[in-house]
Amino acid sequence: MAQATANRNNARRDFYDRIGGLSMAPLWEQLHQLVPPSPAPKYQAAHWDYDKVRPFLMESGSLITAKEAVRRVLILENPALPGSACITPTLYAGLQLILPGEVAPSHRHTQSALRFIVEGEGAYTAVDGERTLMREGDFVITPTWTWHDHGNESAKPMVWLDGLDIPIVAMFNASFAENGESDEQAITAPEGTSDAKFASGLLPVDWKPERQTSPIFNYPYSRTREALAGLAKAGPPDPCHGYKLRYVNPASGGAPIATMGTFMQLLPRGFATAPYRSTDGTVFSVVEGEGESRIGERTFRWKRRDHFVVPSWATVVHSAASESVLFSFSDRPIQERLDLWREDRGSH
């Protein structure tokens, strides 16, 4: 019997070797891995404590200028994906530093970017000939293939979270990039133009969107925070999310960026979310408060300016020790377009 099994296995191995020469492989040896019964992510939950990260960010400021670096960023890399520059298999995240007086020169690329302002006030991003000044908690968009440069005319360092769809664009081999002719693009519209046109529940009467990306490129925290406070007064929190809003492209009702969904949630003091999981691996930036998140088997304590990542289908429970506000982003809009996105709200 044992001999028969050994013979059979040898015959199979020999067969696999011979078809391997023709660049073929037997599906049956890997079917269950290729089509698992539920998501089996090959990356892990992780947390970046801002107190530990910040000294290195500032040290990077004395090692290289923003101009030489083009973008002076420390990548937040998933510990299970070393060398990949990915925080999840579909998302890139990094912390970008711009010191007073610096300019990160103009360029454009097919990757879409979001900026979420972590520290500082008064630096600008220029997109499509218009500047916007940025403050903590603002969510700023750089649409695919638009010229963008960043500059800091304030007296203090500015740090923001960069979220890009780099791994997605890489998967499609659809990356194009160009450097601008000058460091700073020509400014053709006064600050506030895109706000006036698109951010007041109104749209210019004959305007037609040219792309899926939102025409608003700064969603200021002052308004987001006010909306959350109003929501919290209006009724009870959602058991799984607390008070959670999604950012929206006012022209479509969809996500502001085609590849990345962005969210902001308020957790009242002492509130713990009910166990929840969804198929979109999600990156969090803590805007206010402190608390902890149990992600699968691990628990991370967080506070303002920390970052953490929740893998696909990992069960998460957030507990807020003080009133807390969490920004997050994920690839949910793509998954929804592909009819792939799923969530599990437990019994809620």
Q: Does 77 bind ligand GTQ (CB under 6 A)?
A: no
Q: How many residues bind ligand GTQ (CB under 6 A)?
A: 8
Q: Which of 117/325 has CB closer to ligand GTQ?
A: 117
Window 84-103: contact mask with ligand GTQ (x via CB under 6 A): ----------x-x-------
Q: Does 307 bind ligand GTQ (CB under 6 A)?
A: no
Q: Which of 96/282 has CB closer to ligand GTQ?
A: 96
Q: Are 286 and 305 contacting, i.e. CB atoms less than 8 angstroms apart? A: yes
- Both tokens assigned to 18: 């011979």
Q: Are 256 and 248 contacting, i.e. CB atoms less than 8 angstroms apart? A: yes
Say whether 339 sits in a helix, a strand or coil. Answer: coil
Give the span between the Cα atoms of 152 and 72, in whole angstroms: 13
Give the span between the Cα atoms of 26 and 12, in whole angstroms: 10
Q: Are 107 and 70 contacting, i.e. CB atoms less than 8 angstroms apart? A: yes
Give the span between the Cα atoms of 250 and 256, in whole angstroms: 8
Q: Does 164 bind ligand GTQ (CB under 6 A)?
A: yes
Q: How far is the CB of 39 from ligand GTQ (least distance, A)?
A: 27
Q: Does 214 bind ligand GTQ (CB under 6 A)?
A: no
Give the span between the Cα atoms of 75 and 94, in whole angstroms: 4
Q: How far is the CB of 248 from ligand GTQ (least distance, A)?
A: 23
Helix H or strand E segment including 12: helix 2-20
Closest residue by beta carbon to ligand GTQ:
162
Q: How far is the CB of 109 from ligand GTQ (least distance, A)?
A: 6
Give the span between the Cα atoms of 6 and 1, in whole angstroms: 9
Q: Which of 94/120 has CB closer to ligand GTQ?
A: 94
Q: How far is the CB of 162 from ligand GTQ (least distance, A)?
A: 3
Q: What is the DSSP string of 187-226?
A: P-B-TTHHHHHHSSS---TT---SSSS-S--EE-HHHHHH
Q: Which of 97/267 has CB closer to ligand GTQ?
A: 97
Q: Which of 126/164 has CB closer to ligand GTQ?
A: 164
Q: How far is the CB of 71 from ligand GTQ (least distance, A)?
A: 4
Alpha carbon of residue 75 to chain centroid: 12
Q: How far is the CB of 315 from ligand GTQ (least distance, A)?
A: 30
Q: Does 73 bind ligand GTQ (CB under 6 A)?
A: yes
Q: Does 71 bind ligand GTQ (CB under 6 A)?
A: yes
Binding region for ligand GTQ (CB under 6 A):
71, 73, 94, 96, 109, 113, 162, 164
